[in-house]
A = this chain, B = another copy of it.
Amino acid sequence: MNTYPSKLLENAVLELAKLPGIGRKSALRLALHLLRKDLPEVEAFGNAVIKMRKEIQYCNECHNISDAELCAICSSPKRDKTTICVVETTRDVMAIENTGQMNGVYHVLGGIISPMEGIGPEELTIESLISRVTDGEVKEILLALPTTIEGDTTNFYLFRKLKDFSLQVTTLARGVSIGDELEFTDEVTLGRSILNRTLYDGMFLKK
């Protein structure tokens, strides 16, 4: 499809096609769908996305997406601040919250160490995690990273950084299958893997 009947349509299609997993044909279908909607609906759609990008904040403590300087979890008095669950992204926080098995707080790394993608420890919020551990009364760090080579590498890096503090470093139980992403794991498996978390001895999980 080379020739769009309108520059306005073409521009919207090209923007929609920038979304991951959406090609030109799907983008055209979405654009024509939006054209059939009333203007207020389309404005609500476009503005919701812009407002989110413009106004969203990140928690000063755990770096999760938040509507305030401190997220709802970090500011809750019901949460056990002595247990920090370390995850890669916001989606992992949501997946774990969904199990109802984690009463501690989180630390969102914003990624995992990946030499292939040029992501080193300094790109992640690791310094901030260390200072939370240094300042606070943290008793346990639960590493809930993907069970991939990059996840293992990051586990090992964090373990070495944390081993001189008087705290336990744990990982999710092996209920999570190797190579799976947390967000696609079913709730029961993920919940059980939090209950059965094991002492981390610094070894790669694949052994």
Give A residues with C-beta under 8 Å from B. 1-9, 11-12, 14-16, 18-21, 25-26, 28-35, 37, 39, 42-57, 64-67, 71-73, 89-91, 93-95, 97-98, 183
Contact = CB atoms under 8 A, between A and B. Distances in A.
Contact of A5 (B26, B30, B39, B90): B90
A39 B32 CA distance: 25
A35 B55 CA distance: 10
30 contacts: A2-B98, A5-B90, A5-B93, A6-B57, A6-B66, A6-B67, A8-B55, A9-B52, A9-B56, A12-B49, A12-B52, A14-B48, A16-B49, A18-B45, A19-B30, A19-B33, A20-B29, A20-B30, A20-B33, A28-B91, A31-B52, A32-B90, A35-B56, A35-B65, A37-B53, A42-B49, A42-B50, A45-B46, A46-B46, A46-B47
A58 to B, nearest CB: 10
A32 B94 contact: no
Nearest to A67: B6
Contacts of A73: 5
Given A35-B65, A49-B45, A50-B47, A56 B3 contact: no
A147 to B, nearest CB: 20
B53 A35 contact: yes
Contacts of A29: 20-21, 91
A194 B191 CA distance: 60
A52 B13 CA distance: 10
A5 B96 CA distance: 12
A8 B45 contact: no
Contacts of A95: 1
